[in-house]
Amino acid sequence: MEREFVSVLAVAMALFITPLFFDLALCIAGNLFGSRRPLAVVGRAIRLAVLVPAHDEESMIARTVLSLKVSDERTPIFVVAHNCSDGTARAAADAGAQVLELNNPKLLGKGAALRHGIAAALEAGADAVLVVDADSVVSRNLIGATRTMLEKGAGATQCRYELGLPVHERHARPRHPLARLRALAFRGMNVLRARGRSGLGFSTGLFGNGFALTAATLKSVPFNASSIAEDVEYHTRLAEQDVPVYWIGDAFVHGHRPASSAAQEARWEGGRFRVASRATGQLLGALLRGHWRAVETLADVWSLPLSRGIVALVLTLFLAVHWLHVFALVCAAIAILYVVQAGLLGGEPWRDLAALGLAPLYLMWKALITPLVLRQSRSRAEWARTKREAPQP
């Protein structure tokens, strides 16, 4: 009886971590060997508008708007000042943006701000919207590269999204190893996986910042996502309708590095779990209809965070099941390749990889916030501004 129980537990653990390492293996292969077939040039001019949802971002919104104006000063910028209690609207207007104030305590979450802004931009004549977070700095080519991809026929795009400023724009103060570790994890999730999916012909995915949608896409798949993980939720609906997101790897958004927040991490993870539980049936239906890209989206939404996957691999060592140990060894090799690839994609790869020395502390912290993650996966989380380090002049 005990042996049967151990065997069942081993199978359950393997099934629990398989989506993560299957997804990682696909993305590693895509980065190493894949090349996405280019879109055929359609030749239709796109009237693009930039949409910036903002909640109490008075200290950062002007920098974001000015960064977008450097990218293309002719493209209209709509800032949605959503339930703000500070001077976000005034700062955005002073920087040259068109401000849309949305003050309604019943309309909560980033999704509400995006829906309000999308409606206003399309009514003003835009053929597509580019979404940029209010704490970001963008590359000079972002708007042009996005417009070009849309004019080639893409219905949705995602650019490279990094945490923190690029190396050449950082101040002299060195980045703390823990901040490097978090940026490395962020790069793996939002850059390496996107490149890999694109290389194999899958949909890149949406990461909440630096993505664009055409009016035609929004008509066929309305943006009605309302969870705290609105980007993941909307992407599952695109995958269900077989609308791929195309990768723009040579244009960037750099999000401001927030202070470490257990509540924010829990909202992200809990939100993804809720999306996974709700979207599984629809994605399986899409697969049955022949939408093959949905298989990777399904693996993605059910993937554990890598930190939790590593903890699960360690736990497999306590079960005396030979095949499970072999499986865990293969998964560990995949994880190592994944982390190394993510490090090599950054501007300071050896410094970033050296920060892995703090990984045990990070794993312990993630374990401690597990109860909070589980609570967030059951309840409706609101859009709350995360505490950040103030930007330096």
Domain extent at residue 179: 2-39+154-378
Q: What is the pLDDT of residue 147?
A: 96
Q: What is the pLDDT of residue 39?
A: 66
Q: Interior CA angle at 248 toward 76 and 386, to 5°?
A: 65
Q: Answer yes or no: are the C-beta atoms of 203 and 234 closer than 8 Å.
A: no
Q: Identify the segments of the chain with pLDDT beneath 70.
A: 1, 34-43, 165-175, 257-270, 369, 371-393
Q: Give the DSSP per-residue string, 111-149.
A: HHHHHHHHHHHHHTT-SEEEE--TTEEE-TTHHHHHHHH
Q: Is 147 left (phi over 0), alpha (psi -120 to 50) or beta?
A: alpha
Query: What pLDDT was estimated at residue 163?
Result: 82
* 167 domain-assigned: yes
pLDDT of residue 41: 60
In a domain, 111, yes or no: no
The tokens describing 241, both together, are: 């309708």
Asked if the structure places residue 131 within a domain, the reply is no
Residue written as token pair 């993804």: 272
Rounded to an integer, what is the distance from CA 8 to the centroid of its chain? 34
Question: Is 119 part of any domain?
Answer: no
User: Is residue 127 domain-resident?
Assistant: no
Q: What is the pLDDT of residue 35?
A: 59
Number of domains in the chain: 1
392 is a domain residue: no
pTM (2 d.p.): 0.88
Query: Could you tell me if residue 83 is inside a domain?
Result: no
Asked if the structure places residue 65 within a domain, the reply is no
